[in-house]
């Protein structure tokens, strides 16, 4: 697969804030994000779907969301698309996406949580590197954490060199290479049944929240029932699993996965629904030194 690298974020660029998942409950947060980016030297365009909803989803309909998604990629004045929030809705849109349009109009596309669907499907279908990153509503719409803010701009300006775990817990310490790929575990699992796993060596990174350990176990089991996951995932970088019921059982589960598939599994990465988070390029070639709790970026990922 040919890898497509979007252009770096530069001062004066236009950031498109796109609501394509859960509905925006407080539009003031979107306005706050706009003010923040304006202050930082960027222009901002807000999607119409930020101001409408159907049930628990953004936009007055799926059609509005997919049309806005296509319009944002087609718009030559938008340099970066930053998703407004996660929640639920992106899985409903997958079969309507014009992948050729995205491939012809490559640009930074960023978000996390339910946006995991789009980060990985865009990479799989087009080869465009995407970004697991903070979002407009929950991060830039409030008091943005200093580390999260600095890492976001550092990464989107093309200056990310490494991702480091804090207080890593390591299973099967060894070094592997692969392309960074993953995101929210539950959302990733929802893609089972679709052609979503790249046919190349992968460093899987995952996070989640509000899930009991038995469900996390079930989701990993479901993923590893796929031969494409079993054969292609060479290591797992574990982010934060917030609000779990039994941390010791979760650690035990990670050890079992490592032993069963004979792959390094290292926890402690700032991949999270929490306020302190790394921005990670999806699809970039990297070196995973599990014994050091370190992922080193091995290629340029932006033009």
**Choice among 211, 258, 273, 289 that is catalytic:** 273
**Choice among 113, 133, 190, 258 that is catalytic:** 113
Catalytic residue check, 54: no
The Cα 194–Cα 8 span in angstroms is 30
Q: In what order do the strands lie in the sheet with 175-184?
A: 162-164, 294-297, 285-289, 175-184, 202-209, 233-242, 265-267, 169-171
Catalytic residue check, 132: no
The Cα 290–Cα 96 span in angstroms is 39
**Choice among 49, 64, 190, 207 that is catalytic:** 207
Pull the structure tokens for residue 260.
Answer: 């069963």
Catalytic residue check, 157: no
Catalytic positions: 113, 207, 273
């Amino acid at each position: 697969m040919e890898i497509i690298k979007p252009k770096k974020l530069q001062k004066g660029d236009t950031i498109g804030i796109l609501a394509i998942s859960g509905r925006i409950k407080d539009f003031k947060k979107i306005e706050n994000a706009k003010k923040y980016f304006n202050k930082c030297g960027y222009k901002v365009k807000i999607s119409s779907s930020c101001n409408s909803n159907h049930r628990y989803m953004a936009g007055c309909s799926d059609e509005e969301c997919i049309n806005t998604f296509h319009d944002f990629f087609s718009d030559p004045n938008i340099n970066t698309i930053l998703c407004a929030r996660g929640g639920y809705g992106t899985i409903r849109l997958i079969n309507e996406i014009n992948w050729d349009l995205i491939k012809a109009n490559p640009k930074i596309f960023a978000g996390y949580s339910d946006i995991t669907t789009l980060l990985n499907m865009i990479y799989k279908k087009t080869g465009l590197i995407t970004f697991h990153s903070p979002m407009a509503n929950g991060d830039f719409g409030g008091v943005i954490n200093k580390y999260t803010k600095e890492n976001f701009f550092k990464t989107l300006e093309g200056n990310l060199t490494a991702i480091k775990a804090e207080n890593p817990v390591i299973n099967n310490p060894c070094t592997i290479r692969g392309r960074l790929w993953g995101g929210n575990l539950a959302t990733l699992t929802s893609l089972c049944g679709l052609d979503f796993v790249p046919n190349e060596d992968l460093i899987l990174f995952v996070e989640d929240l509000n899930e009991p350990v038995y469900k996390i176990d079930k989701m990993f089991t479901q993923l590893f029932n796929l031969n494409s996951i079993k054969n292609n995932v060479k290591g797992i970088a574990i982010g934060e699993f917030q609000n779990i019921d039994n941390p010791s059982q979760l650690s035990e589960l990670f050890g079992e996965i490592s032993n069963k598939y004979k792959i390094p599994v290292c926890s402690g990465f700032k991949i999270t629904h929490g306020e302190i988070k790394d921005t990670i390029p999806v699809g970039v070639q990297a070196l995973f030194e599990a014994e050091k709790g370190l992922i080193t970026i091995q290629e340029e990922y932006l033009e």
